C-alpha cells in the first residue's frame, strides 16, 4: 500500500481527492491519499506538489521516490536545495487544450479587431475588413509542448507562424528559428506575438526596450507564459508610443496583480487572471498516477525536470 501526500493548495483538496482516488483505482494502484498533517514525512512514497502547499523542506521525506508537480512551471521549486528527489512537471492534455483555446481566442480577437466592435459607444459603422489569416504574421516564442501545440493550431488556421526557441527545433508547417539572431528575425515577423517561455535567467526581460523595437509597429503581444518575460516599464512605454498596439497579459511578476498597477488602467492592456493554462484536476490526476504506475513498474518517469536548465 503506497502513501501519497497531497501538497497542493488546500482549497483544491476537495477536487483532487476524488480525481486522484478514481485515477488510482483505474490504474489498479492501492494507496492512501493523505494531507501533510496526517502522516509522518518518512512514510510518504510520493508527493503531489504545488508551490501553494505547505511543504517547503523536503529533507524529512527520506522514502519519497518522486515529487510530482501539479504545475507546468517549476521555477519556484527547482532551486530548492532540500529537494533531492526526482521532480516531474505537469504536462497534460487538459492544460494544453486550455492554453490552445486561450491563445487562439485572443489571436483571433486581435486579428479580427473584435474590440472595436465590442466596445463601440459612438456606434461607428466601420466596414473595414481585416486581412485574411494568411496575411498576418504570428510568432510564438517557446516551442515546448504548449508552445508547439499553439503554433501548430494557429498554422492550421492559415496564419504564417514563426516559432522561436533557445535550442533548434523542427515542426511541420512552422518556420523555426533559434538563438539570438533567430530571435531578431522572429520578432521582425510578429504582427501578433505569443510568449510561452519558461522563467529562467536567460528569458528574464527577454522582451525589453531593444527587442520590442524589433516588432512591426502596432504589433499585438499576448503573454500567457511568465510575467518575468516582459520588462513592464519598457512595454508600457512602447504602448504609449504606439510601437506596440495592444497587449493581453495573463501572467505577472506579482499575482494577484496589485490594484494600483498601471496595467489595470491602461487603455491598450487587457488583464486576464492567470487562467490561460489552468490545471484541471481530472486530467492532472491521470498524469500524476501514470507516473506513479511507471515508477512502480521500473519505467522512466515522464516530464522529468532537467535542473541544470530549470525546466
First-to-last CA distance in the chain? Answer: 31
Query: Is the CB of residue 31 less than 8 Å from the CB of residue 39?
Result: no
- DSSP type of residue 132: P
Cα separation, 254 vs 259, whole angstroms: 11
Residues 6+ apart with CB under 8 A from 258: none
Cα separation, 20 vs 221, whole angstroms: 37
Q: Where are the beta strands (DSSP E) in the chain?
A: 2-7, 31-34, 46-49, 66-69, 87-88, 138-141, 161-165, 175-178, 192-195, 219-223, 244-249, 269-271
Residue positions annotated with a catalytic role: 226, 274
Cα separation, 199 vs 311, whole angstroms: 9
To the nearest 10°, report the CA torsion of 275, 146, 295, 300: -160
CA-only gyration radius of the chain, Å: 21
Amino acid at each position: 500500500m503506497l502513501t501519497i501526500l497531497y501538497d497542493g493548495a488546500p482549497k483544491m483538496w476537495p477536487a483532487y481527492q476524488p480525481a486522484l482516488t478514481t485515477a488510482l483505482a483505474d490504474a489498479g494502484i492501492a494507496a492512501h491519499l493523505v494531507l501533510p498533517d496526517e502522516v509522518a514525512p518518512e512514510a510518504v512514497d510520493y508527493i503531489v506538489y504545488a508551490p501553494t502547499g505547505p511543504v517547503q523542506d523536503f529533507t524529512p521525506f527520506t522514502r519519497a521516490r518522486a515529487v510530482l508537480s501539479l504545475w507546468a512551471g517549476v521555477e519556484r521549486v527547482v532551486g530548492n536545495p532540500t529537494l533531492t528527489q526526482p521532480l516531474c512537471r505537469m504536462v497534460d492534455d487538459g492544460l494544453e487544450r486550455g492554453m490552445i483555446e486561450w491563445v487562439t481566442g485572443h489571436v483571433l480577437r486581435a486579428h479580427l479587431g473584435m474590440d472595436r466592435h465590442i466596445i463601440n459607444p459612438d456606434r461607428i459603422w466601420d466596414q473595414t475588413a481585416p486581412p485574411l489569416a494568411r496575411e498576418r504574421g504570428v510568432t510564438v516564442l517557446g516551442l515546448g509542448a504548449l508552445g508547439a501545440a499553439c503554433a501548430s493550431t494557429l498554422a492550421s488556421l492559415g496564419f504564417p507562424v514563426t516559432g522561436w526557441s533557445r535550442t533548434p527545433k523542427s515542426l511541420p508547417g512552422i518556420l523555426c528559428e533559434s538563438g539570438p539572431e533567430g530571435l531578431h528575425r522572429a520578432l521582425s515577423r510578429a504582427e501578433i506575438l505569443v510568449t510561452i517561455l519558461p522563467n529562467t535567467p536567460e528569458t528574464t526581460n527577454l522582451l525589453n526596450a531593444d527587442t520590442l523595437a524589433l516588432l512591426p509597429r502596432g504589433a499585438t503581444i499576448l503573454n500567457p507564459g511568465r510575467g518575468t518575460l516582459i520588462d513592464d516599464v519598457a512595454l508600457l512605454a512602447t504602448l504609449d508610443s504606439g510601437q506596440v498596439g495592444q497587449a493581453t497579459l495573463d501572467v505577472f511578476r506579482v499575482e494577484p496583480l496589485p490594484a494600483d498597477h498601471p496595467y489595470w488602467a491602461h487603455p491598450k492592456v487587457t488583464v486576464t487572471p492567470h487562467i490561460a493554462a489552468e490545471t484541471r484536476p481530472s486530467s492532472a490526476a491521470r498524469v500524476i498516477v501514470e507516473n506513479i504506475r511507471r515508477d512502480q513498474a521500473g519505467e522512466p518517469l515522464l516530464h522529468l525536470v532537467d535542473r541544470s536548465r530549470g525546466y
